[in-house]
Amino acid sequence: MNPDGRDSQRGLNTEQAAGLLARDGPNELPRPPRRTAAHILRELAREPMHQLLAAAVAIYFVLGDRAEASVLLAFLGVIVTITLVQERRTERVLEALRDMTSPRALVWRDGAPRRVAGVELVRGDLIELAEGDRVPADARLISANDLAVDESLLSGESLPVAKAAAADGPAGDAPAPSHQVFAGTMVVAGRALAEVSATGARSEIGRIGAVLGAIEAESTPLHRQTRQLVRWFSVLGLVVSVIVGVLFAWSQGDWLGATLAGITMAMSMLPQEFLLILTVFMAMGAWRLSQHRVLTRRAATIEALGAATVLCNDKTGTLTRNQMRIETLVCFGADGPVTWLAADGALDAHFATLLRHGVLACEQEAFDPMERAFHTLAATLADRAPQARLVHEYGLSPALPLMTHVWQLGPGPEQVVAAKGAPESVIALCRLPAAMRAQVLEAAADLAAQGMRVLAVASAGFAGGAWPATPHGFDFRLLGLVALADPLRDTVPRAVEDCRRAGIRVLMITGDHPGTARAIARQAGLDGEAGMLLGDEVAALDDAALRHAVRTTTVFARVPPQQKLRIVEALKANGEVVAMTGDGVNDAPSLKAAHIGIAMGGRGTDVAREASALVLLDDDFGTLVEAVRLGRRIYDNLLKAMRFVFAVHVPIAGLTLIPMLLGWPLLFTPMHIAFLEIVIDPVCSIVFEAEDEEPDLMARAPRDPSAPLFSPSMMAGSLLQGGVVLLLVGSFYGGLLQHGLAEAAARTAAFVALIASNIALILANRALGGGLRAALQARNRALWGMVLATVALLATVVGVAPLRRLFGFAVPEPIWIGAALGVGAVTLAALLAGRALRATFRRGRGHVGA
C-alpha cells in the first residue's frame, strides 16, 4: 500500500479519485476565457450596424422625439438579443463538440481497467498505454515493454525516444525523463503501465500552455472571402451614405435630417449578415455532422466535403464490420495442405499447435480484432497456451510487417518464439524452399480469393544469452496459415453506388492480400478489375508514372503506410480533392496530407485523430458518405442564404435612395430598417440553415473547389433578383403617390409590398431549382414559423395606433393591402420565371456545346 492509500496493483478507488479531482482540478490545460454574454455584447457594440442604430436613437432624442427613439431603442434591443441568442447557441454547440474531442484514458480504478475521459485523471492513477495512444498526463513508468514515444511536441526532436521503467532500465543512474512519459506525447511502439505524477497546468506541457494558447487558427478561405466582401460593401455604403446626407442637407437645409437620411442609407447597404451566416452555418454544420456520428475537428473541412472527388478507404473496419472470426486453419505436411474449418469443432495436435502459437504472437490483452479472434477461438476450444512470461517483443515495422514475441515457459533457459504476419513475410522468415513456398502462397491466394484475411504463423526455439536485433536471427519453422473472415458492412454497396452517381471515385487502399482486396471490392461494388496495384509496384513507380496509374486504379493491396502518402500526393497532383481514412500511427502523414483526413473513432489511434480533420465515431464507410452528403447540403444552404442577403439589400438600398432623388416622401427611416433587420437576420441564419437537401444532391458532380462562393454569376443573379423587387415595389409606391393616396397610406402599402416581396425572395431562393412546388414545399418548419411571426409583427405595427404613428403608417383600404400582397405574388412569379428561363438557356447552351 502506498502512502497516499493507493494499492500499487489495483489503482485508486472511486472515492480517492473524486477527492483528488476536487482538490487538484481537472486534467486539462487552461482554456481561453469563455465568451460570456458581456464579452459578446462588447463585440456587438463594435458592429457598424448597431453603432448606426445607436446614433439614430441619439439623434431622435436630440430632436425631442422620445417615442420614436424609444421604439428604435427597443428594436435595437431585439436585434442584439437575437444575435446574442444565436452566438450563445453557437458557443454551446462548440463546447459540446470540444467535450467530444477530449482524449480517453485506460485507467485502473477499483481494481479493474476502465475507459475514462482524460480530464478525469488524477495524480496517483494507474494508466495503461499502447501503441497509438496520446499520453493523457505526466506519468512515471512502472513497467514498459519496448516502449517508444514521440516527444516532438515538447522537444522538437523528430526521432522517437526509448523509455523504460526504473526497475527495467540499464544499470547506472539513467536520467529521470527516460523513466517518465509526458502529457501530449504519442506512443509509437510498445506498451506500458504508468502512475500519473502531474496533471493539467502542473504537467510539462502545462508550462508551455500559454504559448500554445496564443496560437490562433488560420481563417478559412470562405471566411476570408466573406470578410473582404463585407469590407467592400461597408466602404461603399459609407461613401454613398455621406453623398446622400450631403445632398439631402444641401437640398433641404436640415443637417439632423440629413444625418438620419445618411444613417438610413448606410444601414440599408451594410451586409453584416454575411459573417453571422458563416459562423452559424459552420457551427451548426459541425453539430449536424456529430448527430451522424462524425466529429468535425476543423471548420474548413465542412467547406471541402462538398468538393471531394476521391474517397480513399482502408478495408478493415471501414468497408467491413471489423468483427473478425477465424474460419480456416491450414497446416502443410508431406502430402500437401490439410484444412480445418470452423464447423469441424475440436482441433488435432497440428492445428492446436498452430492456434497456440498464433495466440502467443498476439498481445495478451488484445485490442486488434484479428488478435481478439485468436483469443476467442482458443477460449472456445479450451486450448489455452501454457503459463508463460513475455520477455521480449519485436513490433510491426515497414520493413518486416509481422509480430514476434519471445516467451519464457519455465525456469530453464529455453524460450519459445512465436511470429505471425503476412504470408509473404513469414515465408521469407522461415527460408522455405521454392516448391514449399509456392504451395503456401497458392493456398493463401485461394483463401484470399474468398474474401478472407490470411496470416501465417511460425515458431522457433531460443536459448541464447542475448536476443537478435531482428526476428531474422531466429530459426523459424512454418506452422501454417490462419484465415479470418470480416464480413462487408450492409451499408457499403449502396454507399458506393451513391458515390458513383455523385461523381466521386471510391478507392480501396489496404495492407491485405490482393485476393482478399479483390473479393471485398467485388462485394462492395468497386471495379476491382479496372486495375490493382501492389505496394511494391507503387514503390517502383516514379511520381509521374504513379500520377498516371492512380487515374484508373481502384484497388491498392499490400500497401504499407508510407506508400499511402505517395498515393494521396499523386491524386492531389491530378487535381483531385482527396478524402483519406486511416487509423494507425503511420497513417498520420497521409491523413494530414489529404484535403480531408478522416480518422477512425472506434479503432483509430490518438495520433491518427490528431492529424485528421474528421473523426468517424462508428468507423463506417456509409457514415462517411453521409458526411459528404451533409457537406454538400450545408454548402448548398450557405449559397442560398448568401444569395438572399445579396438580393434583399438591393430593394432596401434602392427604396431608400430613389425617393430622395425623385423628391418623393421618404419611404424608410432607421426604424423601418431596424424592423427589416429583425426579419432578415433569423431568416438567413436559421431558416436557410434548416433547409432540406436538394433532390439532385448526390446526382451531380462535385463542385470546383477553386470556384469562389461569391462568383460573378451568383452576385449578378442576386442583384437581378433584387432589381426585380426594387422595380416592382418602387413602381407600386410611385403609382400610389401618383394616384393621390395619402403619404402614410402609400408608405404602409409599399412597406407591406416589400415584406411580401422579401418573403417571395425567400421562397424563390430556398431551392436551387424547380418551380412553384419546390418554393412552397412545407418541409422547413422554421421557414413557415418565421413567415407567420413576420406577418404577426407587421400586423401589430400597422394595427396598434401608437406604433402605427411612430412608423408613419396609416391603415390603408383593403384594396391597397390586396394590391400589396399581389405585388409579392407577382414578384414570386417573376423570380421563378427568371429561374426557369436561365435553366432553359443553360440546357440550350449545353446542347449547342455538345
CA distance 782 to 101: 30
Helix (H) or strand (E) holding 141: strand 138-150
With beta carbons less than 8 A apart as the criterion, state whether 495 and 621 touch: yes
The one-letter amino acid at 428 = A
**Residue pair 332/439 in contact by the 8 Å Cβ criterion:** yes
Q: Which residue carries 536476443 as its cell?
A: 467
Assigned C-alpha cell, 319: 468497408
Residue 694: Cβ within 10 Å count: 19
Q: Which residue among 133, 138, 150, 314 is the active-site one?
A: 314
Integer-rounded Cα radius of gyration of the chain: 34
- The helix or strand, by DSSP H or E, that contains position 146, with its residue range, turns out to be strand 138-150
Question: Cα 199 to the chain's mean position, in Å?
Answer: 29
CA 683 – CA 477 distance, rounded (Å): 72
Map residue 777 onto helix, strand or coil: coil
314 in active site: yes
Grid coordinates representing 229 are: 466582401
C-beta of residue 340 within 8 angstroms of C-beta of residue 347 = yes
Cα–Cα distance between 275 and 574 in angstroms, integer? 33
Judge whether 199 and 27 are in contact, CB under 8 Å.
Answer: yes
Rounded Cα distance between 742 and 728, Å, is 20
Query: Angle CA(748)–CA(656)–CA(678) in degrees, nearest 5?
Result: 65
Q: What distance in Å separates the CA atoms of residue 400 and residue 488, rounded to the nearest whole number?
A: 28
Query: How far from each other are the two terminal CA atoms of the chain, in whole angstroms?
Result: 83
Rounded to the nearest angstrom, the gap between the alpha carbon of residue 493 and the centroid of all alpha carbons in its chain is 23
434 Cβ contact list (under 8 Å, min separation 6)? none
Q: What cell numbers appear for 817 in the block?
A: 393591402
Given a contact cutoff of 8 angstroms between Cβ atoms, the answer to whether 578 and 310 are in contact is: yes
233 burial level (CB within 10 Å; 0-12, 13-18, 19+): middle
- The C-alpha atoms of residue 239 and residue 41 are separated, in whole angstroms, by 27
CA proximity to 494, closest of 600, 596, 603, 623: 623
Q: Is-contact 678 749, C-beta < 8 A?
A: no
Extended beta strands in 316-472, E state: 325-333, 336-341, 389-394, 402-408, 415-421, 452-462
Phi and psi angles of residue 720, each rounded to the nearest 5 degrees, phi first: -65, -45
Q: Give the residue from 10, 40, 168, 49 showing the smallest Cα distance to 681.
A: 49
The C-alpha cell of 490 is what? 450492409
Q: How far is CA 615 from the centre of its chain?
A: 7
CA distance 728 to 732: 6
Chain centroid to CA 681: how far?
26
State the catalytic residues.
314
